Structure 1
Amino acid sequence: LIFNKGYNLYGIHLARENVRNNSFILVEGYMDVIKMHVHGYNTAVAALGTSFTENQIKLLKRYSKSFYIAFDSDDAGQKASLKAINMLKKNNLKAKVIIMKDAKDPDEYLNKFGKTSFDKLIENSLDYNAFLELYFKEILENSNKVEYINNYFDNIVNVNSEIERELIFDKLSRKVGVSKESIIKEYNKRSTKQKTLVKTAKPAVKPQVKKITTCHEEELIKLILLNNDFALKLSEIVNEDTFKDLKYYKIIKELYECRINDISIDSESLNKITKNAMNVNLQIDNVDYNNLEALFKDCMKRLKLKYYEEKRNILINSLKQPDSSLNSEEITNEIFCLAKKIKSTKEEVNRQ
């Protein structure tokens, strides 16, 4: 199984069950997640590297609107923290950055100082403006106020709230000793230029949702891993007698039963279910998270169509066998019923 870190997060299957009325804690590596969970931080998830993505945000914000960022304390980790807090801010999500001194990551910090100390780090974590102040502190200390202000401008474009932006301007004014009016005027001047560029740019073409035409079972499983609740819709296949003697029926039934019994479906549980009966490549490319349900419905229809056709072929071949125990009239009627189902399902697929 291939884990696509750009679309999923390590530990999400556990964290999402515990994050209600709580905050996700974003870390970089899987060892950080394991150590965090051992110490009771059961909402920790790993972006696996510093490449936190918009698709991961779309997945996470379905479960919580609040985040702590606990990326590594080195330059790359702090740069990633800046990127992450801006991405979260742009999506109108609450976020604070946990600053770890004397340790490179949560795994090392908890080993050295323990849970009580880490609790204090969470308590003293930095909000958006406080983290910007810390991140660009060295520029201001070198007496380069213009560069400091311009760095602020580059980042606060991600702040959608005018009130919050006004409060940031107020703090920035006091920090650099420049009037708030001058700062706002300069920001608006830059903002106007950017809007003009946007207006003259070519209009973006809205991407079309690609219909699934590859192995339908494989695509179905990928989508279920992204949203376990989709497994409940497998009842359409599980409860139809037509499919019960087909190749992957038992696997589909087990996925369905996992969900109705509130068992999380992830790469590990999938391996147990398939028992290497399916060679599933879980590489997920260009997923439109806003259209996951549409993708799943399309996949279900195409899978049912495939199964109807497989079942019809099995029955047609059975009529060719010289076996007197078979009821040819009954089989013919079933083939006729399947032909109608194939026709109506094809029409549904073509209407999409």
Structure 2
Amino acid sequence: MISEDLILKIKEENDIVDVISEVMTLKRAGRNYVGLCPFHGEKTPSFTVSKDKQIFKCFGCGEAGNVITFIMKYKRFNFPEAVKFLGERVNIDVEEDKAYELKNSKKNKLYKINVEAAKYFFNNLTKNSVARNYFFKRGMDKKTLVRFGLGYAVDDWNSLMNYLKNRGYTALDMLEAGLIIKGKNNSYYDRFRNRVMFPVFDYKGRVIGFGGRVLNDSKPKYLNSPETELFKKGTNLYGLNFVIDHFKTDTIVIVEGYMDLISLNQSGIVNVVASLGTALTTQQAKLLKRYVKKIIISYDADTAGQLATLRGMEILKKEGFDVRVLMIPEDKDPDEFVRNHGSKAFESLIEKALPLTEYRIFMESKGINLSDKEMIIKYTRKIIPILLELDPVERELYIKRVAEISKINEQVLYDMVARYAHRGNDYSSNSNKLDDVNMKLYMEPASVKAERVLLNTMLKHNSSIEYIRDKIKVEDMDMNIHKFIYKTILENKSLPKDELKRFIEVKCTDIESSKEFVKILDTEVIDENNCSVAINDCVAQIKKSRLEESKKAIMEKIKKYEAEGKFDETIKLASELVDIQKKISKEIPMEGGNR
């Protein structure tokens, strides 16, 4: 870990205006500097940098932060990488603790042994015409073999192990890298034998593992490295390093396999990653979030591929991506399609990729016989839950689409949606949650602003800390970052206010928390001379919001219990609901404050 004092020193030595001016043009505008935002397309400058506050903020897309988070966002670095980058800029060595150094040393050894193994596999490929011809028959050229470091593992039990031993590596080193397997009687043998090899790189281009494909019909067809200190399939994406090297778009295409990615890359389509043969994970989605806002999934068209597509789309949607699905004609995979039809045809498919809802409706529509009434009835019953999950505008658009497909009157579909919702069906509760999310996109809850006002008041006026502490608890705050900042203020209230602010800023080590801290500092501050009324108003707003959430949860439970015939539980909850409604209706803030 990097010490907080060192982080502060590096931040203070790197003036934000100087750092940002090195990568984009800024013009002075009064006390601030403005320019075209590097994080979204715009023609009129809305990106503002404050030399006084040492922060940036875009009034177009909402991005905000300090010099470290700017580098994280712009360079797509994590927090330690950004600190090291800025440290090097001002000639400050970033020292980390001994435990981290030891762990890092072990990782470096694994990186080195993987590079040696990759060289060994590549050298084997140059000597084996059968293995080379496998790639040539799949449309690969010699440049691609070199670019992706493709190789061959010979049909021998100890060839790689002996090669690495001669270069000073032990059996334990090879075992930790997943290159050999421990057999009976403490014997060891090569994991990969008689396979064409695909080195797997991390986003920095370092070899972290391997995938191997058989040249015959033996099983398993594909064999990957096991989970190691470096190789974690659920957190890495094959080919991301090549995307970063040639980044010219806001969109990434996700495919399933090595050959899909390599074929597309060779054809000139480089904004592609592969999910290493596993279902897409939340960690992979968060990794992609560093780079783009739009994802197109192009998995195989078989049943497994379709299920993986839907799971992946839901994960990506939760992370806030614009998610689409690329449909390949005749159920071909990306590798086969691009080899037969070329990159222009594939780019055309990218442009026609379907949004999530449209894809789901399309999949439910496949094989529907419009002259078969029973099939149409079953089709509409599957579609209604999908429609319930949409916000009102989307729902109207897709009801029209479903009406066109099924030849069912639009009003009938509206009635079916209303009927499902009225029954308290599980789908309707999902719809309510999604409607809430869509509302938040357009109007931020008043309680969130109230929390910001209280936190900034505490940071600016130490005298208000005790008063606010007595009025509201940490758990009453809505946002996790607000809870963290509130708790940190209470635990460090003896610090001078400037020092307290710097202390919290150092703790905000990701882009979103840094952005929110800037918003807090930009929020209005309650007047110190007459602040009790304003604080009570903010507290009342926050507690009212929590009560509204409790009310909503109880109403959902009441619906559920009524449907199940649990009348005693329903009566008890109804009594709780009355009590909550009385508290919500009170004009004065709770806890006895005054207006």
User: Which is greater in Rg?
Assistant: 2
Q: Please give the TM-score of this superposition, normalised by the length of structure 1.
A: 0.49
Q: Please give the TM-score of this superposition, normalised by the length of structure 2.
A: 0.30
